[in-house]
């Protein structure tokens, strides 16, 4: 039996989402291995998707393998050193989902010869509608970039960043963004209930409105401001509501994203100190 080509370190929700996407794309279960200390979690993935379940310890990897780090960032300093020899032995790549752990930190743990890439998916990856940002330095080849993107494209759209310093901002916007949208959905639903709508009705109206507006914004290929003006009649009901939203929504969005960026950088610093 040949060695698996895609190896996951970690068996959490994001690992499961990506594995599900890969299996939907036709990747054989035998081509995927999951290494994790939690027997129940990795065995559950093995039963559900037919992947190979292995203990957390490092093993030799195939020459064309991609190792995907999907465990907690704070554990990376403990886990990665044991994988260094296996990764240095072949031309495989290392793909990290660990928020805040820089390429330089990864190379210190794995050695300068190992091609490392960073990525940040978001939770809609669970239904194949994720948005993943990726970064790779100049030492990573086009073929290696393509191999990493092929894995993450199984759960949604991918977007490459050329500046690693923007990963914190991308994480704050897209990585945390689904929670912002869900909070907005909650607020719209509650507002509808306040106006007398049954909660089930208000929820459907809010969900379908946000979904439809997002699809319109994507497919119309126009700036959101232009689309908004198209549906806003002067002195109409939409204009009255937008006047209220404009009192503080933009500033609030900027503060929220800034708070996420600041917290991400602080956590990254804590992780860096923990892993030294």
72 labelled as ligand-binding? yes
Angstrom CA distances, 236 to 39, 199, 239, stand at 59, 26, 5
Which of 82, 85, 33, 87 is closest to 58 using CA atoms? 82
13 labelled as ligand-binding? yes
Positive/negative CA dihedral, 135, 137, 143, 147: negative
Question: Contact 72/47 with Cβ under 8 angstroms?
Answer: no
Strand, coil or helix: 76:
helix
239 labelled as ligand-binding? no
Which of 151, 150, 171 is closest to 161 using CA atoms? 171
Strand, coil or helix: 176:
coil
Question: Contact 54/42 with Cβ under 8 angstroms?
Answer: yes
73 labelled as ligand-binding? yes
How do strand 66-69 and strand 130-136 relate by DSSP bridges? Answer: unpaired
Tokens of 197: 């709508």
212 labelled as ligand-binding? no
14 labelled as ligand-binding? yes
12 labelled as ligand-binding? yes
State how far the Cα of 147 lies from the Cα of 143, in Å rounded to an integer: 6
Q: Would you call 180 exposed, middle or buried from its count of C-beta atoms within 10 A (0-12, 13-18, 19+)?
A: middle
150 labelled as ligand-binding? no
10 labelled as ligand-binding? yes
CB count within 10 Å of CB 101 equals 24
Instruction: Cite the annotated binding site for NADP(+) by residue number.
Output: 9-14, 70-73
Residue numbering of the annotated binding site: 9-14, 70-73
């Amino acid at each position: 039996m040949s060695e698996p080509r895609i190896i996951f370190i970690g068996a959490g929700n994001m690992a499961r989402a990506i594995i599900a996407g890969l299996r939907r794309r036709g990747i054989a279960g035998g081509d995927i291995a999951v290494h994790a200390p939690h027997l129940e979690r990795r065995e559950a993935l093995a039963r559900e998707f037919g992947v190979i379940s292995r203990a957390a310890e490092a093993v030799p990897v195939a020459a064309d393998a991609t190792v995907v780090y999907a465990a907690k960032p704070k554990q990376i300093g403990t886990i990665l050193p044991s994988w260094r020899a296996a990764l240095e032995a072949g031309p495989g790549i290392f793909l990290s989902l660990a928020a805040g752990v820089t390429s330089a930190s990864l190379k210190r743990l794995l050695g300068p010869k190992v091609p490392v890439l960073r990525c940040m998916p978001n939770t809609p990856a669970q239904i194949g509608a994720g948005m993943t940002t990726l970064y790779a330095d100049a030492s990573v080849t086009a073929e290696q970039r393509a191999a990493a993107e092929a894995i993450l494209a199984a759960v949604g759209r991918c977007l490459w960043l050329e500046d690693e310093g923007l990963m914190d901002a991308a994480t704050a916007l897209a990585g945390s963004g689904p929670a912002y949208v869900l909070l907005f959905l909650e607020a719209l639903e509650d507002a509808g209930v306040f106006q007398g709508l049954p909660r089930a009705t208000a929820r459907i109206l809010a969900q379908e409105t946000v979904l439809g507006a997002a699809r319109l914004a994507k497919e119309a290929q126009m700036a959101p401001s232009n689309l908004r003006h198209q549906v806003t009649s002067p002195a109409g009901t939409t204009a009255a509501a937008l006047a209220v939203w404009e009192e503080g929504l933009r500033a609030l969005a900027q503060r929220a994203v800034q708070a996420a960026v600041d917290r991400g950088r602080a956590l990254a610093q804590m992780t860096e100190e923990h892993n030294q």
